[in-house]
């Protein structure tokens, strides 16, 4: 049965081909001095930068730029962003980009007015902000993380070989997000399919837990079926608006905290994948793809009924003449075949992991307790070796 919960999501969304019109409606609510955060410059090539700047100027904003946010934002970049925001006396942060840019903007938001070690406070001790935070708005150009409608922020510390996420409370959620599926059309195929698997992994992390009958699991099964269908369409035609809009909307619902309400959640795949990324700096969704099946095959015996349900509800496995275990295993085989057809990376060696890195990846993996099996260090080691 559903547990007790209180649910609130304060982010306002503008979705569709005219979504950017919402930016002009929202900006007057916030201060004049805006820190514009973006990545490597693709928004200048596809014209989004000019449109955003035009709206900012028309709304009378004074713009200060913080460019160069990398796919796995680092502690060094966070320190740079905090310095830029302080020098600008920023009153508002506008993130234009994918999930990493949105994650980074939130990290800057909670760190600008904090005088101590932000990495330790937020990403080691998982404290909530005790200082004023800057409001954040997002213009999304790549989908996958769901960062446009949640309090999540993931930062990488290369010196400590750690990549850690903190899910902040509702005060850190973006105040608004602009979602135009057309802005995702120019994303390279590798990044598109990486984002698609990130979405799938977010859903599965929340699905493969618990043994009760709850509404969230039915919702997630529908989201998964929609994602798989739309991903197949987008893989053939990346500018199919219907497919890309469905993927974008599914990404938001996969991690805006809605389907997690009232149930346990796992997140061990993310801990494994983030440990791989801490050592290789590989693309997030691909690290998840590379470790997922070894992990799920390892825990399947502890949650066989749910894996069998997944096989039937999502992959349409016919249970006739099969044991529950056989149905569950067939579901993972069909998932694996789909992943390979999509072009996902299936081994961490393809992501730059070397035999010498494996023990360090094991040591960098945090252990979660919400799934069907709390892993021991030996089990983590076996999963990482199977992922190699």
Query: How does pLDDT run along the chain (388 residues), one tens digit per residue?
Result: 677 899 999 999 999 999 999 999 999 999 999 999 999 889 999 999 999 999 999 999 999 999 999 999 999 999 999 999 999 999 999 999 999 999 999 999 999 999 999 999 999 999 999 999 999 999 999 999 999 999 999 999 999 999 999 999 999 999 999 999 999 999 999 999 999 999 999 999 999 999 999 999 999 999 999 999 999 999 999 999 999 999 999 999 999 999 999 999 999 999 999 999 999 999 999 999 999 999 999 999 999 999 999 999 999 999 999 999 999 999 999 999 999 999 999 999 999 999 999 999 999 999 999 999 999 999 999 999 999 9
Q: Which domains does the chain have, with CATH numbers?
A: 12-183 (3.40.50.1970), 190-387 (1.20.1090.10)
Q: What is the 3-state secondary structure (H, E, C) of the chain?
A: CCCCCCCCCCCEEEECCCCCHHHHHHHHHCCCEEEEEECCCHHHHCCHHHHHHHHHHHCCCEEEEECCCCCCCEHHHHHHHHHHHHHHCCCEEEEEECHHHHHHHHHHHHHCCCCCCHHHHHHHCCCCCCCCCCCEEEEECCCCCCHHHCCEEEEEECCCCEEEEEECCHHHCCCEEEECHHHHCCCCHHHHHHHHHHHHHHHHHHHCCCCCCCHHHHHHHHHHHHHHHHHHHHHHCCCCHHHHHHHHHHHHHHCCCCCCCCCCCCCHHHHHHHHHHHHHCCCHHHHHHHHHHHHHHHHHHHCHHHHHHHHHHHHCCCCCCCCHHHHHHHHHHHHHHHHHHHCCCCCHHHHCCCHHHHHHHHHHCCCCCCCCCCCCHHHHHHHHHHHC
């Amino acid at each position: 049965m559903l547990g007790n919960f209180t649910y609130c999501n304060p982010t306002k969304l503008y979705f569709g081909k005219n979504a950017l019109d919402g930016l002009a409606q929202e900006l007057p609510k916030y201060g004049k001095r805006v820190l514009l955060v973006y990545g490597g410059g693709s928004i200048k090539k596809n014209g989004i930068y000019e449109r955003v700047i035009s709206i900012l100027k028309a709304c009378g904003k004074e713009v200060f730029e913080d460019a160069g946010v990398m796919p796995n934002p680092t502690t060094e970049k966070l320190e740079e962003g905090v310095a830029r925001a302080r020098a600008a006396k920023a009153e508002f942060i506008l993130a234009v980009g994918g999930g990493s840019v949105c994650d980074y903007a939130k990290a800057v938001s909670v760190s600008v007015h904090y005088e101590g070690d932000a990495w330790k406070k937020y990403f080691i001790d998982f404290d909530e902000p005790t200082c004023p935070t800057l409001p954040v708005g997002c213009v999304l150009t790549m989908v996958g993380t769901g960062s446009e409608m949640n309090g999540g922020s993931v930062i990488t510390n290369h010196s400590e070989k750690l990549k850690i996420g903190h899910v902040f409370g509702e005060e850190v959620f973006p105040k608004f997000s602009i979602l135009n599926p057309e802005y995702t059309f120019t994303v390279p195929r590798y990044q598109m399919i990486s984002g698609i698997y990130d979405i799938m992994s977010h859903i599965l992390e929340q699905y493969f837990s618990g043994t009760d009958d709850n509404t969230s699991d039915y919702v997630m099964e529908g989201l998964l079926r929609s994602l798989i269908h739309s991903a197949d369409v987008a893989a053939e035609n990346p500018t199919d608006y219907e497919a890309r809009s469905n993927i974008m909307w599914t990404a938001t619902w996969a991690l805006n905290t809605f389907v997690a309400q009232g149930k346990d959640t796992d997140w061990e795949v993310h801990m494994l994948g983030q440990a791989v990324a801490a050592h290789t700096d590989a693309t997030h969704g691909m690290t998840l793809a590379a470790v997922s099946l070894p992990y799920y095959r390892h825990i399947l015996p502890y949650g066989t009924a749910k894996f069998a349900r997944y096989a039937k509800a999502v992959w349409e496995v016919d249970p006739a003449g099969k044991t529950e275990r056989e149905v569950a295993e067939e579901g993972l085989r069909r998932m694996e075949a789909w992943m390979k057809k999509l072009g996902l990376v299936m081994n961490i060696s393809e992501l730059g992991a070397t035999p010498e890195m494996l023990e360090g990846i094991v040591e960098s993996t945090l252990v979660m307790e919400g799934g069907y099996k709390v892993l021991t260090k030996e089990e983590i080691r076996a999963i990482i070796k199977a992922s190699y």
